Amino acid sequence: MPLKMPHNPLLIGVYPGTFDPVTFGHMDIISRALPLLDKLVIGVAENAGKGPLFSLEERIEILKTEIKSLPNPEEKEISILGFNNLLVQFAETQKARVLVRGLRPVSDFEYEFQMAGTNRKLAPHIETLFLMASEPYQLIASRFVKDVARLGGELSSFVSPEVGIRVREKYN
């Protein structure tokens, strides 16, 4: 018998990521996911193993500032929370039925395909929703933003001016 989930009238989605730092690509996924959901939880993975440039607290703080300038005409609820447990467990604590992921051409596919399959086995009642990266942002990756900043390059095509300042501060 399939597991019966308690009915939750609100469609809640979790958008998980490292957001080290948040880029225009992430913000595009957030703004496109928002109209599809009643509430969006941005889950900031602690991801200590990845050796993030920004601490979890800094990444959350930066995201909170960026979200303030995001158009949200329907005034949808957005929360930004850190997590360091299994993604599907975090999603369950948030009563989410959807995981939102962005898909950039080619490079993301295999990893995302495996992750969605693993999460489906762990929690079949939670569906992963993929949004294809929008054309202007397809090549943006937090990893490259850090590489460009470290080598003194221009960041304005990838992140907001505020995020650019924060990244540069780290390398100064």
Question: Would you tell me which residues interact with ligand ADP (CB under 6 A)?
Answer: 17-19, 23, 25-26, 29, 101-102, 104, 108, 133, 137, 140-142
Q: Is 143 annotated as a binding residue?
A: yes
Q: How many CB atoms lie within 10 A of CB 7?
A: 5
Bridge partners, 130 (sequence order): 101
Residue numbers annotated as active site: 26, 50, 104, 142
Q: How far is the CB of 32 from ligand ADP (least distance, A)?
A: 9
What the block records as the tokens of 37 is: 């959901």
- In this structure, the number of other CB atoms found within 10 A of the CB of residue 95 comes to 14
CB of 47 to ligand ADP, least distance (A): 6
Tell me how far, at minimum, the Cβ of 28 lies from ligand ADP, in Å: 6
Burial class (CB in 10 A: 0-12, 13-18, 19+), 13: buried
Residue 59 marked as a ligand binder: no
Residue placing its CB nearer to ligand ADP in the complex, 87 or 123 = 87
Question: 114 a known binding residue?
Answer: no
Smallest gap from residue 155 Cβ to ligand ADP (A): 14
Cα separation, 69 vs 65, in Å, equals 7
> Any binding-site annotation on 50?
yes
Q: Please, which residue, 41 or 133, has the CB nearer to ligand ADP?
A: 133
Beta strands 98-103 and 39-45, pairing class: unpaired
Per 3-state DSSP, the chain is made up of helix, strand and coil in percentages (nearest 5) of 40, 20, 40
Residue 104 or residue 120: which is nearer to ligand ADP going by CB?
Answer: 104
97 marked as binding residue: no
Q: How far apart are CA 46 and CA 16, in angstroms?
A: 11
Known binding site for ATP: residues?
18-19, 26, 102-104, 112, 137-143
Known binding site: residues?
18-19, 26, 50, 87, 101-104, 112, 137-143
